[in-house]
Amino acid sequence: MNLNLQDKVILISGGAKGIGGAISRGLIEEGAIPVIIDPSEKEANEILKIAQGRALHIPIRLSTEEDARLAIQKTVDSLGRIDGLVNNAGANDGVGLENGSPEAFANSVSKNLFHYYYLAHFALSYLKASKGAIVNISSKTAVTGQGGTSGYIAAKGAQLALTREWAVELLPYQIRVNAILPAEVFTPMYESWIQSFPNPEEKLAEINSRIPLGNRMTRAEEIAAMAIFLLSEKASHITGQHLYVDGGYTHLDRAL
């Protein structure tokens, strides 16, 4: 299927590794121009080699409003347009109710949520011009809970609410806004978490056994495929949706 993304300029926060890296690579395959907003130089350079000059790396962590404004300005100065935005960067940092503090909670919400708004805000005039699309990467934990990670969950739940809010607000401009909710995806960050257990292989097997479809984790490329579809004109009448790409993990009976 030709998604007609040739030469489309798509921003991806956290676009060098894990799910974001898979989205960047998938966009290159579709002929699009990914803008990788990510401080990870090594991984970004690997993607730039694949792109053969048809990608842009902006090594910014998006800690502040100014970081987001600068990322948008660099994109427009270099490429002249913005056709889509994938809000993806974030980390499950384990700031809970018992093991956290008000300050740690505020910092966790800030670093996992605020840049979603900042990037969308500063990109908005360009998305209006292109009738572009926004994809927010959230998490199944926003609807199931996880325990011990209040800040991250608060941010992920807010991302789902903003997806619906923005979809409504941006209807007059035909800008579509959707969210993807991954569950268990074996990214480098996830692998580091698995390695923190006394018996990583046993823990991984236990998790896989609870994923109904195939008893395996979702691949980052499978999340990327959904994100890229939602960015394309093939998804031209899809907006305000929360889409689960999780092998049935969230909704199907684990006894299966």
> What phi, psi does 28 have (nearest 5°)?
-60, -40
Whether 152 is a known active-site residue: answer yes
The radius of gyration of the chain from alpha carbons, rounded to an integer in Å, stands at: 18
**Phi-psi region for residue 174, left (φ > 0), alpha (ψ -120 to 50) or beta?**
left
Q: Please give the single-letter amino acid code of residue 50.
A: I
3-state secondary structure 105-138: HHHHHHHHHHHHHHHHHHHHHHHHHHCCEEEEEC
Of 116, 118, 126, 152, the active-site residue reads 152
Q: Which residues of 101-121 are buried (b: 16+ CB within 10 A; e: fewer)?
A: eeebbeebbebbbbbbbbbbe
How far is residue 118's CA from residue 108's CA, in Å, rounded to a whole number?
16
Active site residues: 152
